[in-house]
Chain A
Amino acid sequence: MEVPILKQGLFLIATIQAALSDADLVQLRSALVHQVVRCRSLGVIVDVTAMDVLDSFASRTLLEISHMIRLRGADTVIVGIQPEVAFAMVQLGLTLEDIPTALDLEEGLAYLQQKFPSAH
């Protein structure tokens, strides 16, 4: 299942539409890193609202996405982690370390717009 990546000015928005397999997550990582380069984006939002589970593999892949994109000089915000998913992540001992998170897409965009006031 491919995740659509929308370009909005200097930001990219990847909205996960359904539960993703490991291969889908790896594909998303690669697509986002390439798109950030091609579009010269400053920020990326990954909307995980539709993810049923964020287990160790998904958390690690989101961290990798954020770290790779940071090496390009851009920021990643993860939005839409569901309360029960957050609960399970904490129980499992998973964190997203230093990746900024926001409640939803709107808050995520507000975060990036504040950080890059001239980007839109």
Chain B
Amino acid sequence: MDTSIAIASDRDVVQARQRGRALALELGFSASEATLIATAISELSRNIVSYAGHGEITLRSTTVGGRLGLVIVAADSGPGIADIELAIRDGYSSMGGLGLGLPGVRRLMDEFELISAPGRGTTVMVTKWIP
């Protein structure tokens, strides 16, 4: 069952991360893991507001090989990212690369996938598995 949250303002960022935390706890993640997930959602949804204006966060549970996980998809049809390598390059600080915080989000989650092209919007899909 997918949960989609429209993202268009900073209030939606708070709403999305609270929904994500609730779902994470429901699935059996620890409070600490749920906070990592909420933090990743906060970063991804803020990028939507800052760079695309609006977009959507989709949350869903997944089971692969008996493992339960939470998938977050952050999608927008904004300007897109020309240099994906640079956007996910881990810099010295959290603001490394293009300053999108994507290297940080990658560290918070277990799986990370970025699909983007100039003029084609941006989709980030991340997954956290229950250990």
Interface residues, chain A, CB within 8 Å of chain B?
19-23, 52-57, 82-85, 87-89, 91-94
Contact = CB atoms under 8 A, between A and B. Distances in A.
A88 B34 CA distance: 10
Interface string B30-46: 01101110110011001
Interface size class of B (residues with CB under 8 A): 20 to 34
B104 A93 contact: yes
Interface string B1-29: 00000000111011001100100000000
Given A22-B13, A84-B31, A88-B108, A52 B21 contact: yes
Contacts of A92: 39, 43, 94, 101, 104-105, 107-108
A43 to B, nearest CB: 28
Interface residues of A: mostly helix, strand, loop or mixed?
A: helix
Contact of B107 (A52, A56, A91): A91
